[in-house]
């Protein structure tokens, strides 16, 4: 948007098109009254001041009557303030007489005002993001509470017996593990079998794209794995339904390894038979032992603290026990 010479601000014009010809530049200007003026460089006898910018309507059709009407309306609504006139160099009277412009710190104050405006906008945007984030967290909490209530872990904002048990499990798949406990998945297992079955919650084969046919230590553990798989799929579907991130699917790929180690099989034989590195073996064993020790603190009808303790003890041997002592030396 421009002003020509010393015309009044209400005589503003907007450039709707420009062209460069051999004889010089050419501008098409629109007035507030929807009149179109075409001027060339030779027609301009006074200085042309750029006051501001307005967005032209789309599609761009500078000869279309509707386009000209919308542009003229935008031009009439455009507010010209003193700062625009001062910055353009157009308002000589203001430039010469206004006390603000005789202030040696005028430029600094104008820049500070612009910075304040920018900071105010950034703060408003930040407040909006924080508000949106808080609403998102609140919504996820409500969704999780609804899920826990449906599965019997919460009742009228109070933990049920299942909920208290869930609160004693610290694991990324805590809800799945708690549900497996409630469904009797760990019933009637000896400590070797418990160590083997519990490994499905801590082990993850990142190289395998899909579960191929897994060998199980015995048919009982094969059946129990099938039950865990069924519970996991049902829970995962419910988590997605409530808009929650589904838990990581359990992995039975370490069951035989844990079973053999609990029985005293040597590390050499395990690494020779199973597709696992020594580092992954020790790390997974430590996570498995930690979960079994958590089981031993539950000690109710769903799990035996004695069996859980024996399972953890049978795994905490050899290189696994030695690696735990290294950090204490």
Q: How many whole angstroms separate alpha carbon 2 and alpha carbon 233?
A: 67
CB 300 within 8 A of CB 165: yes
Alpha carbon 89 to its chain's center: 48
Give the pTM: 0.59
On the question of pLDDT at 179 being above 90, the answer is yes
* Least trusted range by pLDDT, from 50-59, 144-153, 170-179, 182-191: 50-59
Residues 56-89 have pLDDT tens digits of: 888 888 888 888 888 888 888 877 765 666 555 5
Q: Averaged over 17-37, what is the pLDDT?
A: 77
Give pLDDT, residue 272: 80
Instruction: Grade residue 94 by pLDDT with cuts at 50, 70 and 90.
Output: very low
Give pLDDT, residue 208: 62
| Higher-confidence position of 307 and 23 | 307
Neighbouring CB atoms inside 10 A of 63's CB total 10
On the question of pLDDT at 95 being above 70, the answer is no
Domains within the chain, CATH numbers bracketed: 2-85 (no CATH), 159-326 (1.10.3380.30)
Instruction: Grade residue 104 by pLDDT with cuts at 50, 70 and 90.
Output: confident
| Higher-confidence position of 19 and 148 | 148
Q: Averaged over 242-266, what is the pLDDT?
A: 93
Bridge partners (DSSP) of residue 208 are: none
| Higher-confidence position of 6 and 254 | 254
Bridge partners (DSSP) of residue 155 are: 158
Q: Averaged over 15-34, what is the pLDDT?
A: 77
In 3D space, the residue among 236, 246, 255 whose CA is nearest the CA of residue 198 turns out to be 255
Q: How many whole angstroms separate alpha carbon 89 and alpha carbon 46?
A: 13
């Amino acid at each position: 948007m421009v002003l020509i010479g010393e015309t009044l601000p209400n005589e503003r014009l907007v450039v709707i098109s420009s062209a460069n010809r051999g004889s010089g530049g050419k501008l098409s200007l629109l007035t507030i009254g929807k009149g179109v003026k075409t001027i060339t460089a030779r027609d301009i006898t006074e200085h042309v001041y750029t006051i501001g910018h307005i967005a032209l309507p789309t599609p761009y059709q500078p000869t279309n009557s509707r386009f000209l009407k919308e542009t003229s309306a935008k031009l009439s609504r455009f507010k010209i303030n003193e700062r625009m006139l001062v910055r353009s160099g157009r308002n000589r009277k203001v430039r010469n007489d206004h006390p603000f412009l005789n202030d040696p710190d005028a430029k600094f104050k104008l820049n500070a005002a612009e910075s304040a405006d920018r900071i105010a906008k950034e703060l408003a945007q930040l407040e909006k993001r924080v508000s949106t984030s808080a609403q998102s967290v609140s919504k996820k909490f409500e969704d999780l509470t609804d899920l826990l209530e449906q599965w019997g872990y919460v009742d009228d904002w109070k933990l049920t017996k299942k909920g208290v048990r869930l609160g004693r499990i610290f694991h990324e798949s805590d809800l799945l593990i708690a549900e497996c406990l409630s469904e009797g998945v760990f019933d009637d297992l000896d400590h070797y079998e418990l160590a083997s079955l519990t490994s499905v919650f801590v082990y993850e084969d990142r190289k395998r794209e899909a579960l191929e046919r897994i060998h199980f230590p015995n048919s009982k553990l094969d059946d129990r794995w099938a039950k865990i798989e069924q519970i996991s799929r049902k829970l995962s579907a419910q988590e997605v339904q409530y808009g929650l991130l589904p838990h990581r699917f359990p992995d039975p790929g370490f069951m035989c390894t844990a079973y053999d180690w609990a029985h005293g099989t040597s590390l050499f034989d395990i690494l020779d038979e199973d597709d696992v590195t020594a580092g992954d073996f020790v790390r997974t064993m430590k996570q498995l032992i930690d979960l079994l020790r958590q089981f031993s603190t539950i000690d109710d009808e769903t799990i035996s603290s004695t069996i859980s303790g024996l399972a953890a003890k049978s795994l905490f041997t050899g290189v696994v026990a030695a690696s735990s002592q290294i950090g204490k030396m």
